[in-house]
Amino acid sequence: MNGFALGVEQEEWCGRLRALAADRLRPLADKGEPGRVNRPLLAALGELGLLERVFTSGALELCLLRESLAYGCTEAETALALQGLGAHPVLSSGTPEQRARWLPEVRAGRAVAAFALSEPGAGSDAAALALEAVRDAGGGWRLGGEKCWISNAPEADFYTVFARTGEGPAAKGVTAFLVPADRPGLSGEPLDMLSPHPIGRLSFDGVPVGPQDLLGEPGRGFRVAMDTLNLFRPSVGAFAVGMARAALDATLAYTAARRAFGGVLGDLQAVGHRVAEMATRTEAARLLVYAAAGAYDAGSPDVPRRSAMAKLLATETAQYVVDHAVQLHGAVALQRGHLLEHLYREVRAPRIYEGASEVQRTIIAKELYR
């Protein structure tokens, strides 16, 4: 890839992924139950080797993977991304025993991972989390508190959990733990959300964890969380770009064929200008996402700023494009089961999760003034 376009092999790979998403993964997604983990879909992602790519790819390849899957099947994209988000801390900070136990199962789609950071009082302000890890007599900790808006909860097989151990104030006193779902004292319930992927609440009632469950060092958990988010934020932008491109292509096809006012909709200047704006914003977002991913792969020091910019622009752009695509389609796009009705529900959440748009602007400003 140069600064402006993908190489031939990359374009061909993305094309194969889009076709695979539509032909192989879409039917499995359609059989799933909204708000529940789709284990057959995860198994297919494992069999196809796509989950393996999440853990062996650089940031740019991860973006291409997520964008291409999102174009053809948002459920497959999200299932894949959540596996990566939940298990990446194990890959980057886990012990050899933790990696051997869980990563092969995650890559195969047999074990479901989850990233448990947000809480009822600590969403955008992640450093304000209140889940406590209290030392016990055996040299371990007992977790007490609640997590909320956790993707794949309560059906995940293990959770990357961030808790306050008190080595310092705010972010300096947070530790990351790997917590299997069958630990005593851990329970949860699903939440009925706008977007169709599984999200739930977790309750920790004296859940026991020990040194063998640490992900990294005590008091360094916030860095584990931020390193994971810096990798995945550009690819959240890629997910958004994939949705925007799907909505744009659907709009081009529809307005080129839909007859109205003695011609087709695309002949109307107001429509043509709207589509041109949609396409321009989508292309700008795509390039910024690729640039952020390239910076991550190159080890650039400005990754936090670039990642925040990419997620911000791409998710806000996708909202704009999908909304205008619905408007240009008219009532047909509001029917249950229509592609744009589906995208309209999917596109809203990425402006909030993994750092809301307002948080991204704060990150960008801080990095600029640093």
Q: Which residues carry out catalysis?
A: 354
Dihedral sign (CA 227, 212, 126, 244): positive
Q: Is the dihedral of CA 246, 249, 253, 258 positive or negative?
A: positive
- 245 contacts: CB under 8 Å, gap ≥ 6: 67, 71, 282, 286
> What pairs with residue 214 in β-bridges?
177
Residue 187 near residue 205, CB atoms below 8 Å: yes
Phi, psi of 361 (to 5 degrees): -65, -40
Contacts of 230 (CB under 8 A, 6+ apart): 296, 303, 304, 307
Backbone dihedral region for residue 323 (phi beyond 0: left; psi -120 to 50: alpha; all else: beta):
alpha
Distance CA 231, CA 305 (A): 12
Handedness of CA 342, 347, 352, 355 (dihedral sign): positive
Q: How far apart are CA 79 and CA 287, in angstroms?
A: 25
132 - beta bridge partners? 144, 164
- Distance between CA 281 and CA 320 in Å, rounded? 9
Beta bridge partners of 163: 175
Contact status, residue 246 vs residue 279, Cβ threshold 8 Å: no
Cα torsion angle, 272, 278, 284, 286, sign:
negative
